[in-house]
Amino acid sequence: MARAREITKAAGDEAGEDLYRRTFERAASGLAHIGLDRRFIRVNRRLTEILGYSEAELKRLTGREISHPDDVDMINRARPALYSGKSESLHVEKRYLKKSGETVWVAITIVLERDAAGEPLYEIAVFDDITARKRAETALRESEERFRQTFEIAASGIAHVTLDGYFLRVNRSLCQILGYDRDDLIGRSVKEVSHPDDRDLTDAERGRVREGGINSAHFEKRYLRKNGAVVWVDLAIAVAHDASGEPEYEIAVFDDITSRKVLDAALRDKTELLQLGQTAARMIILDYDIKADRLAWSDSPEWLRGPRPASGDYPLFKDQVHPEDRERFVAERATSLATLQPGSQEYRIIRTDGEMLWVLARRQVFADASGKAERLLVAMIDVTERKHAEAALRESESRFRSLTQLSSDWYWEQDAQFGLKFMSGRMGERTGLDAANYLGRKRWDTPALNLTEEDWAKHRAQLERHEPFRNFEMQRPAEGGGSRWISISGEPLFNDAGRFAGYRGVGSDITERKQAEIALQEAHEELKRSNAELEQFAYVASHDLQEPLRMVSSYTQLLLRRFGERFDGDSREFMGYIVDGAARMKQLIEDLLAYSRVGTRGKEFREVEVEESVRRAVSNLRAAIEEAGAAVTWDALPKVMADDTQIAQLFQNLIGNALKFRSASVPRIHVFVARRDTDWHFMVRDNGIGIESQYFERIFMVFQRLHNKADYPGTGIGLAICKKVVERHGGEIWVESRPGEGSAFHFSLPIIAGERA
Ligand code: ADP
């Protein structure tokens, strides 16, 4: 502007006219004098260049006419201030359209030339072409706009950070990532929003970036969102320098990798889980790179292959396969590789420690582009336990089969409605009955000769209560006539859910046993009958014999009394024998009668104090006891249901024998008693001569004795009577003894029903 004023001054100087002219023409800026009518009065060459019109053309034009349509009247709007004297000059930057149509940016300065009276004469205008500068400015603006947009819309969070670590500028994404509003974030320190554990993570590297040691640095670090949540960020940092090359601020780019981190962690967890699963399931995956001939295991294969040999190398896997399975193993693997088909196989592995395992192996083959197998994946699990269980099951089944084949019994099954659903073949073989007649039917739908309706109802009720049953006997009619006796035992079946599923059990043919039982029963009945007859006979006979015997003995005695003197020695002696014989026969008959009376003349049982019976026996034996100086003692004795006379007789016989068969020492006789479950156990013990064990049975038989009557009088009926009495009372009698050590006669009598435990 200063220069323009100088020029104006010069123009008004007549003397400097020429100088002015030359200066005007050669000026580097475009110059013009513009009339008050706004037309160009004078223009220099530079202006014609700037506006693209010739001097002549310009002199016919006004600036307004060649202005860019958007910039028309810019100068007009400024003129009033110039003309009013408010401002000395006006200055605008505006566009003109050159003749060629091109736009040219021009900076214009205008001053007003006035006359001496101060009236405006014309305008002096200076034009400078600023197109290049304007383009650069636009380009810069556009570039900045582009940058601003990029900054703003970038998916990554971007921040400019001051060198001392405060947010200078932040984009929208960063606000989202960190969960802060822009205004919240700007001016806040980066460390403040960092996760405490990662706060100083970047310090060292950032220093190096700032010092120019490295261009940029990368980190993964955690920040805390405004709400406290942790966000994982991938962070890149670079430094922006000013024109002088000094670090100005940091540019930081943030990428939210939280979900990736979460996924990573989840994946890690999954991998761990898989690992755990593998371990728990004893599963291992073998990865065989066929081309490289390299084996990799998903886990330590020790459980499968055994302890690692000292050399560190296992034998070939193939060689660890059980020899019996190896051929099959090799063949099937080859097939898999050739056909590329997956397959599964079970085989045994011999571990390095000799232990054997069963594995189930599933194969998967992967082919290369040319279709050749290049990788083999084999998942193996330990199925040893299952194999053992299978073997045990097979074993148990075979045992069951042998059992049913070898046993004479048969096996049957009933459904939940008690219909027979299975019957093993043995039934037919054993009984000759046809299983078809029973299958599908309930047990009580077919007749059994031995069972009444009531019996069946009881059995049925038992089944309905799902109780086991033993030895249920049925007499089944046979088709060809006759019958078979069958005994069955069964137990209820429950399914896994605990629901009743029927019965199963065994059956056996008991026809022979039943026949034997029946025969035995018949024989027993017959025996009882004939015994009774015999007893009756013995009684009748001995009773009837008494009369003639009495006659023999009384007449023999009469004969001796009346005619005794007439007999000589021999006759007298013979007569003596007859009398003796008759007396002895009388005794025998009386004993026999007594014996038979035990069965035929016994009294009804009633409650008996055993002690009473013992006292009676002792009192009957008083003379003998006193004579021997014997001591007879007894325990506290119980009550029993008995025939009191017979019990007294029993004790009298036993104590009597103890006195009779005494040794040199003074007889000591004691009656013991002990309570057992259902009976009393009595014992009469003496210190007499004792008995050899070979005679223990015989002495209880009628008329059986071990001594002759000269040494020990008696007929040998006493113990036989004892036996009969005890047996009539439902007990047993036996002896324990050793010669010279005394004898113990034991017998039992039932405890009274109401007193049993
Ligand atoms: P008897 O007493 O009439 O001979 P028993 O039937 O009472 O007949 O006895 C049979 C035999 O048993 C006796 O002859 C005797 O040999 C033997 N005997 C019985 N009781 C005793 C006893 N307490 N000690 C030794 N022997 C005995």
Atom of ligand 1 nearest to the CA of 717: 6
Q: Which two tokens stand for residue 579?
A: 């009398």
Categorize the per-residue pLDDT at 233 as very low, low, confident or very high, splitting at 50, 70 and 90: very high
In this prediction, residues 546-557 reach a mean pLDDT of 84
What is the Cα 46 distance to its own chain's centre? 102
Backbone angles phi, psi at 653, to 5 degrees: -65, -45
Looking at 144-153, 181-190, 614-623, which range is the least confident one?
144-153
What pLDDT sits at residue 3? Answer: 52
Backbone angles phi, psi at 491, to 5 degrees: -135, 150
pLDDT at 476 over 70: yes
d(Cα 704, Cα 707) in Å, to the nearest integer?
Answer: 9
pLDDT at 10 over 70: no
Atom of ligand 1 nearest to the CA of 653: 7
d(Cα 111, Cα 91) in Å, to the nearest integer?
Answer: 9
- Name the residue at shortest CA distance from atom 20 of ligand 1: 657
Beta bridge partners of 547: none
Distance 699 CA to ligand 1 centre (A): 7
Higher-confidence position of 96 and 598: 96
What pLDDT sits at residue 9? Answer: 57
Categorize the per-residue pLDDT at 690 as very low, low, confident or very high, splitting at 50, 70 and 90: very high
Distance 367 CA to ligand 1 centre (A): 107
Residue-wise pLDDT for 100-125, tens only, equals 999 999 999 999 999 999 899 999 99
Most distant CA pair in the chain, distance: 239
SS (H, E, C) 31-47: EEEECCCCEEEEECHHH
d(Cα 207, Cα 191) in Å, to the nearest integer?
Answer: 15
Residue-wise pLDDT for 327-337, tens only, equals 999 999 888 88
Strand, helix or coil for residue 4: helix
Per-residue DSSP letter, 339: H
What pLDDT sits at residue 706? Answer: 85
Distance 715 CA to ligand 1 centre (A): 9
CB 75 within 8 A of CB 66: no
CB 508 within 8 A of CB 486: yes
Categorize the per-residue pLDDT at 14 as very low, low, confident or very high, splitting at 50, 70 and 90: low
Categorize the per-residue pLDDT at 15 as very low, low, confident or very high, splitting at 50, 70 and 90: low
Higher-confidence position of 648 and 397: 648
The residue to mutate among 683, 699, 723, having the most atoms of ligand 1 within 8 angstroms of its beta carbon, is 699
What pLDDT sits at residue 340? Answer: 86
- Name the residue at shortest CA distance from atom 11 of ligand 1: 705
What pLDDT sits at residue 490? Answer: 94
The residue to mutate among 671, 689, 691, having the most atoms of ligand 1 within 8 angstroms of its beta carbon, is 691
Strand, helix or coil for residue 63: coil
β pairing state of 294-297 and 216-224: unpaired
pLDDT at 630 over 80: yes
What pLDDT sits at residue 347? Answer: 93
Distance 675 CA to ligand 1 centre (A): 27
DSSP string, 685-723: E--SS---GGGTTGGGSTT--SS-TTTS---S-HHHHHH
Higher-confidence position of 343 and 461: 461
Categorize the per-residue pLDDT at 648 as very low, low, confident or very high, splitting at 50, 70 and 90: very high
Cβ neighbours for 551, distance < 8 A, ≥ 6 positions apart: none
Torsion of CA 47, 49, 51, 55, to 10 degrees: 60
Give the H or E element holding residue 659: helix 644-660
What pLDDT sits at residue 161? Answer: 92
Q: Which two tokens stand for residue 140?
A: 């810069």
Tell me the pTM.
0.40
Distance 602 CA to ligand 1 centre (A): 24
In this prediction, residues 158-165 reach a mean pLDDT of 91
What pLDDT sits at residue 702? Answer: 84
pLDDT at 6 over 60: no
Which residues have C-beta atoms less than 6 Å from ligand 1? 653, 657-658, 661, 686, 688-689, 691, 699, 705-707, 714-720, 743
Distance 183 CA to ligand 1 centre (A): 132
In this prediction, residues 666-670 reach a mean pLDDT of 96
- Cα distances from 263 to residues 230, 267, 593, in angstroms, run 15, 6, 113
The residue to mutate among 660, 700, 701, having the most atoms of ligand 1 within 8 angstroms of its beta carbon, is 660
Residue-wise pLDDT for 572-610, tens only, equals 888 888 888 888 888 888 888 888 888 777 889 999 999
What pLDDT sits at residue 242? Answer: 85
Categorize the per-residue pLDDT at 8 as very low, low, confident or very high, splitting at 50, 70 and 90: low
What pLDDT sits at residue 12? Answer: 54
β pairing state of 373-382 and 283-289: antiparallel
d(Cα 124, Cα 35) in Å, to the nearest integer?
Answer: 9
CB 732 within 8 A of CB 747: yes
Distance 248 CA to ligand 1 centre (A): 140
For the chain, the average pLDDT equals: 88
- Cα distances from 500 to residues 81, 119, 460, 466, in angstroms, run 117, 131, 15, 8
pLDDT at 349 over 70: yes
Residue-wise pLDDT for 484-495, tens only, equals 999 999 999 998
Residue-wise pLDDT for 194-222, tens only, equals 999 998 888 888 888 888 888 888 899 99
Location of structure tokens 């023409």: 25
Distance 712 CA to ligand 1 centre (A): 9
Angle, helix 644-660 to helix 610-620, in steps of 10 degrees: 50
Distance 593 CA to ligand 1 centre (A): 19
What pLDDT sits at residue 583? Answer: 83
pLDDT at 368 over 90: no
Give the H or E element holding residue 611: helix 610-620
pLDDT at 93 over 70: yes
Residue-wise pLDDT for 73-82, tens only, equals 899 998 999 9
d(Cα 187, Cα 189) in Å, to the nearest integer?
Answer: 7
The residue to mutate among 684, 719, 737, having the most atoms of ligand 1 within 8 angstroms of its beta carbon, is 719
Location of structure tokens 């049993």: 756
What pLDDT sits at residue 600? Answer: 74
Distance 701 CA to ligand 1 centre (A): 11
Atom of ligand 1 nearest to the CA of 742: 24
- Cα distances from 673 to residues 85, 640, 681, 686, 749, in angstroms, run 161, 12, 5, 15, 10
Per-residue DSSP letter, 166: B
